[in-house]
Structure 1
């Protein structure tokens, strides 16, 4: 007699391979993300809208699952354990991937979607494209959410992993992204310029020797003798300058503020330099003594998003936002 059970029903007594997720409430990922970010159970509960007892129960379950306290009390509050610190670096891409998985549908309606689009970006690129993109999404997909994650270290460090779980990465062409499973398209261009305090005694068109004699403020520069992965440092190395770095900062946007009032020099993007100059910061913009100083910012995404209707729409929204970016002022190129 034929067995009447459907294929979805397990056969009694049969052995099945159990996933580590089988007995895990995936809502714990949401709580874990907020707990590790806030380092406080009460604030984590408020962030996700649950009661204090529910949050305490979730923390107890997480501690039992990981076999670790995750948080420990100190005189100043709470701090993450070693495992908690490791999990904090891993939970964000996992949370994003789960949101994308459960937001995926067979169709896409910009007016009704509540999907969150995630973008990894340096603060300079967020400064340039953030407002045009936010305006476009607010007008065309008012219920969607945008999550801009700004890098806190050199873009290349984790970019090959990030592009697999985030909707987009905005970055110059780098080796880690130029692989077969990653797609790209150009978004916008800029150019490197030098920035000094307005009162600094340096020629309006400096030569390499003028630049080499100065102390530098450089973003995302790594210490040590080897050339950094940071774009500004790599550019200086390409034009034959090994800078004496006086200030390192994990930001592009802050660089002009760290130059003003000092005798130091920085390499910054022209749009950023012009913005600070227009805001009254006492700085001067100087040309770089090099013909090839263009910066190219590209949109990068993983091939698994190619046929996702929501992602197709988002790619077009990013490209359209890029066309709305005002062009920087153009100065004459320095003589070769």
Structure 2
């Protein structure tokens, strides 16, 4: 009964604000994200501080850090919100046509381009009230996947970068080399000597890089001449076009953009491990009816892409 009295005196909106505050660590950004006024968030923070008997957020220089208590609470807010959502989303039989929910998928521009339209078409047809948000991934989001998935429904990324989380296998793709359509030095095939000599366009150029160009070449004793570093795959064909540059790109994306960017798609003169794209998600969503439906949508979209 004591627990019931505590819950009866709590506003569930505070849980939403608490989760956002602990993620953003900033009152202004929290207010913008929730679509409420800054004074409203400041007032909620005051109520939360009184409830916990703790400052939760403390200023350190120009930023706010979490107190030890807030760090522990931050691991609980995501699962708690998911549980509340499951309670109020529950029906005798799940019906996506009445779904009013936004799904956030953290994805590279590659996956959003080749798979995103197939997902969006199915969601629009079966759940017109649902919304999709494709959020561009970053090396930080991948390095901290468990934390990323506290506030997202899933992460679209190949195997090899994330472990210890449930996933749904979707499809495979090959890596190919791309050069300008009118490249003056490259014929019908690339050679290893050309890969060592030509300037490269690479993505991120750091360990958490989804294109293994530099890493693969180093293993073969070649140090790539990096000319351009970008943070998205879709830019690469247009930065290769009309230049001496070369890049490594997923075959599905390369062939989709080749006619527009005026590039040629060539086989790599060395063996590159194919990528196996998967959808990684928080274990708390394993039995969530709406999330299970979303995973079915991704499976169907991937099957169409494979076909």
TM, length-normalised to structure 2: 0.74
Residue 231 of structure 1 aligns to a residue whose secondary structure is: coil
Say if 1:168 and 1:300, in contact at 8 Å, map to a contact too: yes
2:113 to 127, 132, 135: 127
Describe the SS at the equivalent of 1:111: helix
Match 2:293 to one of 294, 303, 313: 313
Offset at residue 324 of structure 1 (A)? 2.5
2:275 to 295, 300, 309: 295
For 2:263 and 2:126, locate their aligned partners in 1 and report how far apart those are by CA, in whole Å.
Answer: 39
Alignment match, 2:258:
277
CA-CA distance at 1:272 after TM superposition: 1.7
In the other structure, the counterpart of 1:88 is none
Q: How many pairs align? A: 286
**Corresponding residue of 1:219:** 203
Measured in 1, the distance between the counterparts of 2:287 and 2:41 equals 38
In the alignment, is residue 207 of structure 1 matched against residue 191 of structure 2? yes
Q: What TM-score, normalized by structure 1, do the two folds share? A: 0.69
Structure 2, unmatched stretches of 5+, are: 67-72
Describe how 1:88-99 pairs up with structure 2 within 5 A: 97=79, 99=81
Tell me how large the CA RMSD over aligned residues is. Answer: 4.0
Q: Which protein has the bigger helix share? A: 2
Q: Residue 133 of structure 1: CA displacement?
A: 0.7
Query: Retained in 1: the 8 A contact 2:172–2:274?
Result: yes
| 1:142 pairs with 2:128 | yes
Task: Deviation per CA, 1:255-284: give whole Å up to 9, x if none.
Answer: 2222223221110112222222222x2322
- In structure 1, the residue matched to 2:226 is 245
Q: Could you tell me how far 1:206 is from its partner in structure 2? A: 0.9
Partners of 1:35 and 1:157 in 2: CA distance: 18
Q: Which stretch of structure 1 is more off in the superposition, 290-299 or 56-65?
A: 56-65
Q: Residue 9 of structure 1 aligns with which residue?
A: 2
1:106-142 alpha-carbon deviations (Å, 9 max, x no partner): 4432122223333222221111111111111111122
Once the two structures are overlaid, the 10-residue window that deviates more, 124-133 or 252-261, is 252-261
Q: Distance in 1 between matches of 2:139 and 2:24?
A: 23
Matched, 1:28 2:17: yes
Bigger radius of gyration among the two: 1
- Point out the more displaced range, 196-205 or 290-299: 290-299
Residues 168 and 278 of structure 2 are in contact (CA less than 8 Å); yes or no, is this contact kept in structure 1?
yes
Match of 1:230 among 209, 223, 229: 209
**Shift of residue 297 of structure 1?**
0.8
- For the residue of structure 2 that corresponds to 1:133, the secondary structure is helix
